[in-house]
Amino acid sequence: MTSLEFETLQLLRRETPDFISPDLWPPYSSDLNPVDYEILDVMQHRVYKTKINTIDELKQRLIEVCCDLEQSTVDMAIEQWRGRLLACVRAKGRHLEHSL
């Protein structure tokens, strides 16, 4: 762990009462990653809304969609995060798709 990572963790522990430290975090859990379960889903829907014919078109569409992503989409993902964390705790770290 770098000194910056250590300092960041210390700050989060001090300033965030409900902070979950990395050693308690389930590794590689897409169910608990707001980018995976919400933001990429929205982006994918928007990117492939119409046909893309070339790699350059895909690159341009990704840039446009990313730049147009509303703060409300990000906020919604963050709001859903706490419920997903609670579902993970209830499921004792097992798969939780059925409880979401």
Whether residue 60 is predicted with pLDDT greater than 90 in this model: the reply is: yes
Number of neighbouring beta carbons within 10 Å of residue 84: 20
Alpha-carbon span 81 to 98, nearest angstrom: 16
Assess whether pLDDT exceeds 70 at residue 76: yes
Average pLDDT over residues 7-21: 86
Q: How confident is the model at residue 20 (pLDDT cuts 50, 70, 90)?
A: confident
Q: pTM, whole model, 2 decimals?
A: 0.47
Q: Is the pLDDT of residue 51 over 90?
A: yes
pLDDT at residue number 27: 61
Q: How confident is the model at residue 93 (pLDDT cuts 50, 70, 90)?
A: low
Rounded CA separation 21/18 (Å): 10
